[in-house]
């Protein structure tokens, strides 16, 4: 995009790669100097009343960009919120256009995406849609740049697809993007046309895969590949769009019932991996994404030795370059734990699972948390494994408090609440069962089991609904304690 948003997440991750390779080099000092200079420029522009608002906004955006590249999303968000507040105050004076506001909102949305705040991301993008009006008839009558509009629309499509709940809405939005693009092309051909069309076809392919419509997904991936080829010829492109299209084709091929298609998919996937590796590097997230998919297919095909070897290399790359708290590091650990359980190495799997939970507990202690993605993964990972039932409630309760403070009403909060409600029901049932057995048998350890179950049920229930009395749980606990004297 020609609009100065932020560098893409890909560029942000590349920045981290360089930091890892040159920790004590001049690169770190230059970064610090850039950050300090951008911060000074922003504060200087803020203090001078004679400085135009757009100059202040530009200085603030430069500072926010530096924070974003360093992965300091919390601080980046705070700076952008200040800019948005200034825009709100100046809007009455007609100093700020809808385009200025949209650009600020889109930057905030990019930060929300990196932080894993899905509801915030959707809300910001919906506000952008409302500012524009969202119809082709508004073209030329609004101050919002068309390319900018298409950027936030495709970003909203990705957010809806990732949730997997609103794929029909995402599909309609994709069609809307095509409508707007075609209307623009009729007025005047644009050089970013093939790139935009390839991106939308890739989005449509992802939606079709989510809906398990693999033939339809393959058609979109082929269309994307053709457009990506045109883009590379026109703009001397590096081939990243082509690699993404090949990756999508490979994913479709692996789902085919035809053995020939599966064999072709292996070759296509290898080509996508080679392209991403040559353009972006071996340790770039998009390259590692292809490697991760390769490993999943190895496990599916029961090639456990190959998968274990590849997983070890993948984990080493994630933790060395991106650190232990990165969501992909945690996801790789989860995959390692599951593979070891499949191979009946239960002690090894338990050790990895304990490390995942310990990492998440460390992350919960951070007050100004930059990203919630890792915590969200751990929350789902623990909730979906019944054998970790004993260890999970304590972490879930802490995660509930952390997400409530940082997110408010959010899909992640809904998931954790639902999980904790299930724990309360299970603990209460276990307490009642233990109490019944204890009353019949008089066994002391059964009363102790009942006490432990009711105590845990009460602590979680009180966290979820502090205003309620939870009489049944309290009564059960009282009976157990009374019997234990």
**Residue 79 CA: distances (Å) to CA of 29, 51, 53, 86, 292:** 22, 18, 15, 11, 35
The confidence band for 211, taking pLDDT boundaries of 50, 70 and 90, is confident
Q: Break the chain into its structural domains and give their ranges.
A: 1-96, 410-485
Q: Which of 403, 482, 388 is nearest to 117 (CA)?
A: 403
Spell 148-171 as b/e; 16+ CB within 10 A means b: bbbbbbbbbbbbbbeeeebbeebb
pLDDT of residue 334: 95
> What residues contact 416, with CB distance under 8 A and at least 6 apart?
379, 396, 399, 400, 403
Tokens describing residue 281? 């590097």
What's the token pair of residue 304? 């456990």
pTM of the model: 0.74
pLDDT digits (tens, 9 = 90+) for 360-394: 888 888 766 667 788 888 888 887 887 877 777 77
Please state which of the ranges 69-83, 119-133, 277-291, 417-431 shows the lowest mean pLDDT.
119-133
Q: pLDDT-derived band of residue 340, with 50, 70 and 90 as boundaries? A: very high
* Angle 110-114-117 from CA coordinates, rounded to 5°: 90
Answer for the pair 78, 370: CB distance below 8 angstroms, yes or no. Answer: no
Query: Which of the two residues, 276 and 3, has the higher pLDDT score?
Result: 276
| DSSP letter string, 3-23 | S-----HHHHHHHHHHHHHTT
The yes-or-no verdict on residue 58 having pLDDT over 60 is yes
Letter string b/e over residues 318-333, b meaning 16 or more CB atoms within 10 A of that residue's CB:
bbebbebbbbbbbbbb
Q: How far apart are CA 198 and CA 272, in angstroms?
A: 16
> Does 311 score more than 90 pLDDT?
yes
Q: Residues 157-195: pLDDT tens digits?
A: 888 777 766 677 888 888 888 887 777 777 777 777 788
pLDDT of the residue at 335: 95
408: Cβ–Cβ under 8 A, 6 or more apart, which residues? none
Q: Can you give the pLDDT at residue 73?
A: 84
Please report which confidence band the pLDDT of residue 142 belongs to, taking 50, 70 and 90 as the band edges: very low
Q: What number is the average pLDDT over the span 74-94?
A: 79
In the structure encoding, which two tokens stand for residue 381, read together?
């990972």
Q: Which of 322, 384, 387, 379 is nearest to 356 (CA)?
A: 379
User: Within 13 Å, how many C-alpha atoms sit on residue 107's CB side?
Assistant: 33
Report the pLDDT value the prediction gives residue 328, as an integer from 0 to 100. Answer: 93
H or E element at residue 202: helix 193-210
203 in Cβ contact with 158 (< 8 Å): yes
**pLDDT of 482 higher than 50:** yes
Specify the pLDDT at position 139.
Answer: 43
What pLDDT, on the 0 to 100 scale, is given for residue 10?
39
Residue 97, both tokens: 């256009």
Using the Cα atoms of residue 421, residue 166, residue 202 and residue 186 in order, give the sign of their dihedral: negative
pLDDT digits (tens, 9 = 90+) for 237-273: 678 889 999 999 999 988 877 777 788 888 999 999 9
The full DSSP string for 104-156 is: HHHHHHHHHHHHT-HHHHHHHHHHHHHHH-SSGGGTTTSSS-HHHHHHHHHHH
Determine the pLDDT at residue 416: 73
Residue range 459-473, pLDDT digits in tens: 888 877 888 888 888
CB neighbourhood size of 418 (10 A): 10
pLDDT digits (tens, 9 = 90+) for 13-33: 444 444 444 444 555 555 666
> Using N-to-C axis directions, what is the helix angle for 98-115 and 9-21, rounded to 10°?
50
Assess whether pLDDT exceeds 50 at residue 338.
yes
How many Å apart are CA 431 and CA 433, to the nearest integer?
5
Q: What is the dihedral of CA 233, 237, 243, 248, to 10 degrees?
A: -70
Q: Is the pLDDT of residue 407 over 60?
A: yes
pLDDT at 246: 94
Q: Which pLDDT belongs to residue 193?
A: 77
Mean pLDDT score of the chain:
79
């Amino acid at each position: 995009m020609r609009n100065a948003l932020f560098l893409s997440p890909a560029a942000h991750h590349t920045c981290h790669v360089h930091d890892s390779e040159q920790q004590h080099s001049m690169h770190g000092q230059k970064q610090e100097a850039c950050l300090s200079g951008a911060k000074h420029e922003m504060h200087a522009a803020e203090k001078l009343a004679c400085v135009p608002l757009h100059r202040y906004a530009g200085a603030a955006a430069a500072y926010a960009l530096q924070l974003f590249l360093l992965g300091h999303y919390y601080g980046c968000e705070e700076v952008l919120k200040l800019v948005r507040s200034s825009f709100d105050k100046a809007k009455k004076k007609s100093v700020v256009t809808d385009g200025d506001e949209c650009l600020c909102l889109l930057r905030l949305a990019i930060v929300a995406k990196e932080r894993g705040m899905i509801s915030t991301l959707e809300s910001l993008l919906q506000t952008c849609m409302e500012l524009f009006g969202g119809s082709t008839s508004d073209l030329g009558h609004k101050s919002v740049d068309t390319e900018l509009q298409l950027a936030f629309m495709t970003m909203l499509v990705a957010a809806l697809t990732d949730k997997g709940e609103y794929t029909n809405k995402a599909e309609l939005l994709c069609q809307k993007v095509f409508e707007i693009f075609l209307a623009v092309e009729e007025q005047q051909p644009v050089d970013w046309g093939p790139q935009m069309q390839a991106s939308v076809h890739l989005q449509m392919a992802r939606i079709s895969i989510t809906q398990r419509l693999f033939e339809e997904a393959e058609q979109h991936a082929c269309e994307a590949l053709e457009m990506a080829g045109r883009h590379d010829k026109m703009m001397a492109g590096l081939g990243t769009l082509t690699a993404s299209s090949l990756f999508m084709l490979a994913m479709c091929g692996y789902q085919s019932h035809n053995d020939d298609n599966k064999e072709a998919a292996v070759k296509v996937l290898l080509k996508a991996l080679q392209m991403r590796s040559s353009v972006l590097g071996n340790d770039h997230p998009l390259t590692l994404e292809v490697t991760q998919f390769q490993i999943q297919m190895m496990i599916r095909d029961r090639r456990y030795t190959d998968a274990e070897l590849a997983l070890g290399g993948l984990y080493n790359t994630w933790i060395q370059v991106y650190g232990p708290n990165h969501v992909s590091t945690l996801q790789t650990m989860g995959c390692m734990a599951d593979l070891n359980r499949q191979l009946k190495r239960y002690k090894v799997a338990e050790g990895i699972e304990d490390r995942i939970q310990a990492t998440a507990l460390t992350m919960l202690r951070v007050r100004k948390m930059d990203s919630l993605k890792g915590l969200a993964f751990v929350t789902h990972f623990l909730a979906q494994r019944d054998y970790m039932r004993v260890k999970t409630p304590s972490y879930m309760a802490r995660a509930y408090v952390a997400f409530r403070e940082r997110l408010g009403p959010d899909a992640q909060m809904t998931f954790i609440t639902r999980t904790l409600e299930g724990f309360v029901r299970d603990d209460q049932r276990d307490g009642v069962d233990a109490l019944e057995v204890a009353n019949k048998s008089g066994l002391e350890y059964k009363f102790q089991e009942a006490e432990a179950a009711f105590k845990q049920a009460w602590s979680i229930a009180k966290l979820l609904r502090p205003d309620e009395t939870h009489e049944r749980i309290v009564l059960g606990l009282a009976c157990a304690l009374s019997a234990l004297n």
